[in-house]
């Protein structure tokens, strides 16, 4: 008799319709896209707290993509509220905001939702109707921000870096692994690449000057030559910069320059362009100086009406000095 009653109860329960509100809530937590289009609102201030957060959020978006089983396409955005339009119209799924507090983002005029605070006024912003994505982000952040991986990633970007690294036993930059990877591929000393990167951006992912962008200040034309389209991607930028320096070094090596002058002329060409440096070499030769010796060429800039060269001379000198200092502190 007890079994019959239990069966009748189960049948009755199975015929009950679930509450519509509960069902909608559960459905709203289900969110999946094959590709998440993300934007990071870049801040142009070198060395700023927001600047360090750019690199941190590049990594965090990649980690979240793994969690959400989705590819992540990251594009640069602006550092003001105008880019939120792209979130509201659906062309961007996640916008990383660096410097806007909750009180600014959570206004009636902005149809967006904001994630939990990550650090230093960093939030992820999604469209108001994307409750499922917001729930997934906050759930992931709750776990991730309590993990060792998060602490290591924060330390990677927020550690104090100088041109001689973070200390004798510490990393040179937040990007040592990537620099070493492309140093191996190109055969360039990784500390020289580090010195070049420090001179160009002080290890700031969002650095931008005229048409040069990113960690190694590469322009779009040069990046395309090496198959790179996202200049704010740390790996893409380092790849393009490393291979371009390799190209320039090979050019001077084929002309028979000694190893030290190969590096100096390659650095000068990286800064000023190889066509301009070739003009400088021709001018030096016309003045009776050795066109294969950087110091002699640089000494003739004062008589070169087409190129003053002071900035490039200082550029080469700074990188060579930093490279030497890194060699003393890191290679012990």
Q: What is the pLDDT of residues 91-120, one digit of tens each?
A: 999 999 877 656 566 666 678 899 999 988
**Residue 266, pLDDT above cutoff 50:** yes
Q: Which residues of the chain does CATH 1.10.530.10 include?
A: 176-330
Average pLDDT, the chain: 85
φ/ψ of residue 35, rounded to 5: -135, 130
**CA contacts within 13 A on the Cβ side of 4:** 1
Closest by alpha carbon to 183, among 246, 236, 229? Answer: 246
Sort 180 into a burial class: Cβ within 10 Å, 0-12 / 13-18 / 19+.
Answer: middle
Q: Where are the beta strands (DSSP E) in the chain?
A: 35-41, 71-77, 94-97, 112-114, 123-127, 208-209, 212-213
35-156: which CATH topology?
D-Maltodextrin-Binding Protein; domain 2 (3.40.190)
Q: What is the DSSP letter of 162?
A: B
Q: Which residues of the chain does CATH 3.40.190.10 include?
A: 35-156
176-330: which CATH topology?
Lysozyme (1.10.530)
SS3 of residue 208 by DSSP: strand
User: How confident is the model over 232-260, as pLDDT tens digits?
Assistant: 889 999 999 999 999 999 999 999 999 99
Q: Mean pLDDT across the stretch 300-316? A: 94
Q: Where are the alpha helices (DSSP H) in 76-175?
A: 84-88, 102-105, 131-144, 148-158
């Amino acid at each position: 008799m007890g079994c019959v009653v239990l069966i009748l109860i189960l049948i009755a329960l199975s015929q009950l319709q679930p509450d519509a509100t509960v069902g909608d809530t559960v459905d709203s937590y289900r969110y999946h896209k094959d590709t998440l289009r993300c934007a990071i609102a870049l801040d142009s201030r070198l060395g700023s707290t927001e600047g360090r957060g750019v690199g941190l959020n590049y990594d965090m978006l990649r980690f979240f993509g793994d969690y959400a089983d989705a590819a992540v396409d990251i594009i640069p955005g602006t550092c003001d509220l105008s880019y939120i339009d792209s979130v509201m119209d659906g062309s961007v799924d996640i916008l990383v905001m660096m410097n806007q507090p909750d009180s600014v983002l959570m206004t009636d005029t902005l149809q967006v939702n904001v994630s939990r605070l990550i650090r230093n006024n960093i939030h992820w912003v999604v469209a108001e109707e994307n409750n499922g994505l917001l729930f997934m982000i906050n759930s992931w952040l709750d776990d991730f921000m309590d993990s060792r991986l998060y602490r290591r990633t924060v330390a990677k970007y927020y550690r104090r870096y100088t041109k001689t690294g973070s200390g004798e036993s510490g990393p040179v930059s937040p990007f040592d692994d990537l620099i070493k990877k492309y140093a191996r591929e190109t055969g360039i000393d990784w500390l020289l690449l580090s010195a070049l990167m420090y001179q160009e951006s002080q290890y700031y992912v969002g650095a931008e000057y005229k048409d040069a962008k990113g960690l190694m200040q590469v322009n779009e034309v040069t990046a395309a030559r090496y198959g790179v389209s996202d200049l704010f991607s740390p790996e893409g930028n380092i790849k393009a910069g490393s291979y371009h320096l390799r190209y320039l070094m090979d050019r001077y090596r084929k002309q028979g320059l000694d190893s030290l002058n190969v590096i100096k002329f390659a650095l000068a060409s990286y800064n000023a362009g190889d066509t301009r440096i070739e003009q400088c070499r021709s001018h030096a030769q016309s003045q009776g100086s050795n066109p294969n010796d950087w110091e002699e060429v640089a000494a003739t800039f004062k008589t070169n009406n087409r190129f003053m060269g002071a900035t490039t001379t200082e550029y080469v000198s700074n990188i060579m000095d930093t490279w030497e200092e890194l060699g003393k502190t890191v290679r012990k």
